[in-house]
Amino acid sequence: MITMNLLQRLKPEYLKRLNQKTEEHQDLVLKTLETLENECYVSQLRYCVILDLQYLLSTPTLNAFTFFRDDL
């Protein structure tokens, strides 16, 4: 079984928002995307990455599972 990384599982609307924030917060977005590409499990994300996602996506949730598709 091939495990998809979190960048591949990120919901399309959130990926679009991250890409839109690149100009404004380039370093933070790139660091976050790199982390998502290197991780396969939401439970393995560091808390600071979840906070970065919350900030960049303007989403007031700390439940990181809401950012990712689970139907794959």
Quote the number of domains for the chain: 1
Local structure of 68: helix, strand or coil: strand
Residue 4 included in any domain: no
User: How many Å apart are CA 58 and CA 72, to the nearest integer?
Assistant: 25
Q: 34: closest CA among 47, 23, 18?
A: 18
Residue 1 included in any domain: no
* Global pTM value: 0.89
pLDDT of residue 1: 61
Residue 48 included in any domain: yes
pLDDT of residue 72: 58
- Domain with 45, as residue range(s), is 26-72
In angstroms, the Cα distances linking 45 to 11, 20, 23, 24, 26 are 16, 22, 24, 23, 20
Residue ranges in the chain whose pLDDT is less than 50: none
Residue 69 included in any domain: yes
Contact 36, 7 (CB under 8 A): yes
